[in-house]
């Protein structure tokens, strides 16, 4: 069960060129390519005739020719040629999905195309404006996307999963956590004041003594997540709504674009941005290495959680928090799931014409 009437990150914009690229999104086969002028196109990846993936075929200019019997489709998904006959039957077409480039990502709309308003694309402009992109990574996750959302909205896990880099016991034990609903977003603000810096912050922030450390996770349904990590000397009067790059603080912003591949697999496209004034080229190389280590530590956790859900004789899914203990740090993700559930319910209630 996926939200359909929303934009999902299909990848980074430069993942796609004038070539047929096959993907599975929300359980559906999609072929993506750019026209000769660079416009992105996304079509159902199944020929309407014998269901061979169009991605096995070839581009003829901006048109797609099927590899089996040569049917040709234009960028709207309409079949415009069937070899050996002069007319094309009504209904010979494949589905076309709205796609567009923004903030270095390619966004795709898997629901009703008439509702695909570009203004609904989430604000990832920190990538465009904030500075250097230090760690762009594509991951194939062996889990339902909700497990990844859960992870990013409860950053107490840094203390355990990422203890060699961004984590330390104080992050779980001494955090003051505030959860706020702001419009259609849930914000989870975690503050640890006057603690020893965890390894990554120590190394790159160059602190002499104790610090304030904070993380702000911002969630929008279904799976847009922006997280800011900040740090400054313990005696700097930093306020929770300040930008991380004020007051001489050291920190970085992380943007996560997720798209479900299936109920049990997910694509994740992550970008970390750091302010150019805050790191030498050498430091950035090492920082990037740590970012990649961290996300692969999480990836392993997700796969094992999904295996545990799948092996459960009761048939649990990632939606099930039944029979698990709820802890204080779950408040953010509980609100996020409530918000997502409302969106899903609203979509299910749509007239068929609007939701199809």
Contacts with a copy of itself, residue ranges (CB under 8 A): 24, 27-29, 46, 48-53, 56, 65-71, 79, 82-85, 89, 91-92, 150, 154, 156-157, 159-161, 169, 172-175, 177, 301, 304-305, 308-309, 311-313, 316, 324-330
Give the three-state DSSP class for 131: coil
What's the token pair of residue 159? Answer: 């203390």
For the bound state, the minimum distance from the C-beta of residue 259 to a copy of itself, rounded and expressed in Å, comes to: 16
CA distances from 306 to 148, 162, 250, 325 (A): 11, 20, 35, 18
Q: Which of 267, 221, 224 lies closest to 30, judged by CA?
A: 267
The label of the residue with tokens 């928090």 reads: 321
CB of 160 to a copy of itself, least distance (A): 5
Q: And the tokens for 178?
A: 């505030």
In 3-state terms, what secondary structure has residue 275?
coil
Question: Cα–Cα distances in Å, from 235 out to 171, 184, 210, 217, 242?
Answer: 18, 34, 9, 24, 15
* Cβ at position 51, least distance to a copy of itself in Å: 5
Residue 212 or 271: the one with the smaller Cβ distance to a copy of itself is 212
CB of 352 to a copy of itself, least distance (A): 17
How far is CA 343 from each of CA 219, 230, 337, 349, rounded to the nearest angstrom?
A: 13, 31, 10, 10
Nearer to a copy of itself, 5 or 192 (CB): 192
> Going by DSSP bridges, is the β-strand pair 132-141/96-97 parallel, antiparallel, or unpaired?
unpaired
Shortest distance in whole angstroms from residue 293 CB to a copy of itself: 16
CB closer to a copy of itself, 46 vs 102: 46
Cβ distance to a copy of itself smaller for residue 39 or 304: 304
**177 three-class SS:** strand
Q: Which of 231, 154, 165 is closest to 195 using CA atoms?
A: 231
Closer CB to a copy of itself, 1 or 39, in the complex: 1
Closer of 191 and 207 to a copy of itself (Cβ): 191
Give the shortest CB-348-to-a copy of itself separation in angstroms: 17
| Shortest spacing between CB 300 and a copy of itself, in angstroms | 9
Choice between 72 and 180, CB closer to a copy of itself: 72
Q: Which two tokens stand for residue 203?
A: 């190394």
């Amino acid at each position: 069960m996926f939200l359909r009437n929303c934009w999902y990150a299909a990848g980074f914009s430069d993942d796609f060129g004038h070539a047929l690229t096959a993907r599975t999104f929300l359980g559906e086969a999609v072929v993506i390519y750019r026209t000769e002028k660079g416009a992105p196109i996304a079509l159902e990846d199944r020929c309407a005739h014998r269901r061979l993936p169009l991605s096995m075929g070839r581009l003829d200019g901006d048109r797609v020719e099927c590899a089996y019997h040569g049917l040709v489709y234009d960028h709207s998904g309409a079949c415009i040629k069937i070899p050996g006959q002069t007319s094309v039957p009504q209904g010979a077409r494949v589905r076309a999905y709205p796609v567009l480039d923004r903030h270095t990502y390619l966004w795709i709309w898997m629901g009703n195309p008439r509702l695909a308003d570009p203004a609904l694309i989430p604000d990832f402009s920190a990538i465009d404006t904030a500075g250097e992109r230090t760690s762009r990574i594509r991951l194939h996750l062996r889990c339902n996307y909700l497990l990844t959302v859960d992870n990013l909205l409860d950053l107490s896990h840094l203390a355990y999963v990422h203890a060699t880099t961004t984590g330390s016991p104080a992050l779980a034990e001494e955090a003051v956590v505030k959860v706020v609903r702001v419009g259609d977003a849930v914000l989870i603000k975690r503050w640890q004041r006057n603690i020893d810096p965890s390894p990554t912050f120590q190394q790159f922030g160059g602190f002499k003594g104790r610090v304030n450390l904070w993380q702000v996770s911002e969630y929008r349904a279904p799976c847009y997540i922006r997280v800011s990590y900040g740090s400054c000397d313990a005696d700097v009067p930093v306020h929770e709504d300040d930008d991380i790059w004020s007051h001489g603080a050291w920190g970085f912003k992380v943007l996560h674009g997720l798209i479900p591949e299936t109920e049990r697999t997910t694509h994740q496209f992550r970008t970390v941005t750091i302010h150019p004034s805050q790191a030498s080229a050498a430091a950035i190389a090492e920082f990037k290495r740590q970012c990649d280590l961290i996300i692969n530590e999480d990836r392993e956790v997700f796969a094992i959680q999904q295996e545990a859900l799948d092996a459960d004789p009761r048939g649990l899914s990632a939606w099930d928090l039944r029979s698990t203990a709820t802890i204080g740090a779950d408040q953010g993700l509980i609100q996020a799931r409530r918000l997502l559930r409302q969106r899903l319910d609203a979509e299910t209630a749509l007239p068929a014409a609007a939701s199809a």
